[in-house]
Amino acid sequence: MDRRWVGPDGYEIVPAERGGRQVLRVRRDGWLVADCVSVEQVARYVDLADLCEVVTLPTREREVRSAAW
């Protein structure tokens, strides 16, 4: 499951890997802003209280298909 957080003004934060190290990638309107190694660094770009995690829910069609198999 992919994790992703969105905030105001087009900000999006996603986990990523850079140089073998896990980072939090900050994008704004699809453009790379920064790869942060800590939550404190992310807070320089967006107020953490404004972030919402995007949760992908299973669709009903998938549930019916998997139950039928």
Per the DSSP assignment, residues forming a β-bridge with 29 are none
User: Distance between CA 56 and CA 3 in Å, rounded?
Assistant: 9
Which of these, 63, 37, 39, lies nearest to 51 by C-alpha position?
A: 39
pLDDT at 60: 73
pLDDT at 64: 53
pTM over 0.85: no
pLDDT at 68: 47
pLDDT at 3: 87
- Domain range for 32 is 5-68
pLDDT at 42: 97
What would the DSSP string read from start to end of 4-65?
A: -EE-GGGEEEEEEEETTEEEEEEEETTEEEEEESSHHHHTTTS-GGG-EE--PPPPHHHHHH
User: Distance between CA 28 and CA 26 in Å, rounded?
Assistant: 7
pLDDT tens string for the chain (69 positions)?
578 999 999 999 999 999 999 999 999 999 999 999 999 999 999 999 999 999 887 777 655 555 444
